[in-house]
């Protein structure tokens, strides 16, 4: 065979085998900057290069390394590639791959079951921390509401708060410099729980019965809480609530499915208004309920302002205040998957005023409705 022809065939062979796209182009279709927003890619031409030992570094246009996370399935096969992107308003940017060993990623999200604190399930990102209540708390009549922990650092604090509580006597209900738990849930939806809404009544449930941690960090964590017997009138339903928390995301993503008798019912995502003296934003057209109120510690020490919100991207049939809850009520068919978003924040971290929180929430809804446009080059 001609030597030059043989060389050309070898080049073509290796070119056909090396199908990792060289760059990822991202376009921002909105009129505001998209900062530290998670981009998710499920393209198999990329993912097959991350199933085994191949190592690649992702870089931005300034040739700086960009941390990423590979989401794997139960068989350890890559199913998604995620990283945080920055794109100016109405502009585009390009990220590219080079061969090499990536720097270990600093965790920005975290989730775990907490048996040492009566079966809490706790999670966080770099903006806020949360927990929901498990079986060991049954005697205290907990709800399926969401508890909010305020933080003023991008460090992960959940494990530190629990450790200091049980080993050093430093209560996480007191701010020791990085935040505190001063939010009161009681038998309510708290900072963004969800419940059936039937016969003009909100059917709040109790503690979760089991959980599954799908994965924890560094840029995304995901878990499912299961409720075995949600009572609605004389019927009982089984509920699975899957929560995804992303680094840099204002709100958590919640996917909920009820199983039982096939029928339509109302489903209400909501927030508790406590003494109803705060600043409420309730907008059915935009699918938003948000609340700003004074944060006060257990020792009655003022801790600034805390914020909560829910966003429902599907049609809202009714937005109302009932029994000190702000509710966004949607039609729901049992057996279907229902998606909404919830979360909270603090005026001592990122959102100095109520309007800053409301504006961040409006931008978050725009991001969901107008996602970044991704193309592989």
HSE-CB at 149 with a 13 A cutoff on CA atoms is 27
| Residue 85 belongs to a domain | yes
| Residue 140 belongs to a domain | yes
Q: Which domain holds residue 88?
A: 22-104
* Phi then psi dihedrals of residue 269, to 5 deg: -90, 135
**How many domains is the chain built from?**
2
Identify the domain boundary among 78, 104, 130.
104
User: pTM of the predicted model, to two decimals?
Assistant: 0.94
Q: What is the predicted pLDDT for the residue at 297?
A: 85
Identify the domain boundary among 76, 104, 132.
104
Reading the chain (377 residues) residue by residue, the pLDDT tens digits are 444 433 333 333 333 345 577 899 999 999 999 999 999 999 888 888 886 656 899 999 999 999 999 998 878 889 999 999 999 999 999 999 999 999 999 999 999 999 999 999 999 999 999 999 999 999 999 999 999 999 999 999 999 999 999 999 999 999 999 999 999 999 999 999 999 999 999 999 999 999 999 999 999 999 999 999 999 999 999 999 999 999 999 999 999 999 999 999 999 999 999 999 999 999 999 999 999 999 998 888 899 999 999 999 999 999 999 999 999 999 999 999 999 999 999 999 999 999 999 999 999 999 999 999 999 98
Omega within 30 of 0 (cis) for the link into 218: yes
| Residue 14 belongs to a domain | no
Structure-token pair, residue 350: 């990122």
Q: What is the predicted pLDDT for the residue at 45?
A: 82
User: Do 96 and 140 reside in the same domain of the chain?
Assistant: no
DSSP conformation class of 371: P
| Residue 349 belongs to a domain | yes
Q: What is the predicted pLDDT for the residue at 52?
A: 63
| Residue 335 belongs to a domain | yes
Structure-token pair, residue 331: 């039609």
Q: What is the predicted pLDDT for the residue at 50?
A: 83
Q: What is the predicted pLDDT for the residue at 298?
A: 81
User: Do 56 and 157 reside in the same domain of the chain?
Assistant: no
Structure-token pair, residue 188: 């309510």
Contact assessment for residue 265 and residue 195, using Cβ atoms and an 8 Å cutoff: no
Q: What is the predicted pLDDT for the residue at 280?
A: 98
User: Do 58 and 186 reside in the same domain of the chain?
Assistant: no
User: Do 217 and 312 reside in the same domain of the chain?
Assistant: yes
139: left (phi over 0), alpha (psi -120 to 50) or beta: alpha
User: Do 134 and 98 reside in the same domain of the chain?
Assistant: no
Q: Look up the CATH number of the domain holding residue 162.
A: 2.70.98
| Residue 6 belongs to a domain | no
| Residue 258 belongs to a domain | yes
Q: What is the predicted pLDDT for the residue at 4?
A: 44
* Phi then psi dihedrals of residue 17, to 5 deg: -80, -30
CA–CA gap between residue 201 and residue 42 (Å, rounded): 41
Q: What is the predicted pLDDT for the residue at 25?
A: 97
CA–CA gap between residue 147 and residue 271 (Å, rounded): 11
Structure-token pair, residue 211: 């959980």
User: Do 132 and 213 reside in the same domain of the chain?
Assistant: yes
């Amino acid at each position: 065979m001609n030597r030059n022809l043989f060389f050309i065939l070898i080049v073509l062979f290796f070119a056909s085998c090396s199908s990792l796209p060289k760059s990822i182009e991202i376009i921002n279709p909105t009129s505001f900057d998209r900062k530290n927003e998670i981009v998710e890619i499920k393209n198999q031409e990329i993912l097959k290069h991350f199933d085994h030992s191949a190592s690649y570094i992702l870089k931005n246009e300034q040739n700086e390394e960009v941390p990423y996370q590979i989401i794997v399935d139960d068989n350890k096969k890559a199913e998604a590639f995620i990283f945080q992107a920055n794109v100016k308003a109405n502009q585009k940017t390009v990220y590219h791959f080079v061969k090499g060993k990536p720097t270990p990623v600093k965790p920005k999200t975290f989730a775990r079951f907490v048996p040492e604190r009566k079966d809490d399930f706790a999670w966080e990102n770099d903006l806020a921390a949360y927990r929901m209540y498990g079986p060991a708390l049954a005697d205290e009549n907990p709800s399926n509401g969401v508890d909010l922990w305020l933080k003023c650092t991008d460090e992960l604090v959940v494990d530190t708060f629990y450790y200091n509580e049980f080993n050093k006597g430093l209560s996480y209900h007191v701010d020791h410099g990085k935040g505190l738990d001063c939010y009161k849930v009681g038998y309510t939806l708290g900072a963004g729980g969800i419940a059936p809404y039937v016969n003009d009544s909100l059917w709040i449930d109790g503690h979760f019965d089991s959980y599954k941690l799908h994965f924890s960090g560094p840029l995304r964590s995901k878990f499912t809480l299961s409720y075995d017997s949600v009572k609605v009138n004389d019927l009982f339903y089984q509920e699975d609530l899957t929560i995804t928390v992303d680094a840099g995301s204002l709100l958590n993503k919640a996917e909920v499915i009820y199983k039982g008798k096939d029928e339509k019912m109302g489903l209400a995502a909501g927030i508790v208004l406590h003494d109803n003296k705060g600043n409420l934003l309730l907008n059915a057209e935009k699918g938003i309920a948000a609340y700003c109120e004074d944060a006060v510690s257990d020792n009655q020490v003022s801790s600034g302002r805390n914020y909560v919100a829910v966003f429902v991207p599907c049609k809202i049939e009714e937005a109302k205040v009932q029994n000190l809850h702000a509710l966004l009520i949607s039609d729901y068919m049992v057996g279907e998957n229902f998606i909404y978003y919830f979360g909270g924040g603090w005026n001592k971290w990122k959102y100095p005023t109520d309007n800053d929180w409301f504006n961040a929430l409006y931008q978050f809804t725009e991001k969901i409705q107008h996602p970044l446009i991704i193309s592989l080059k």
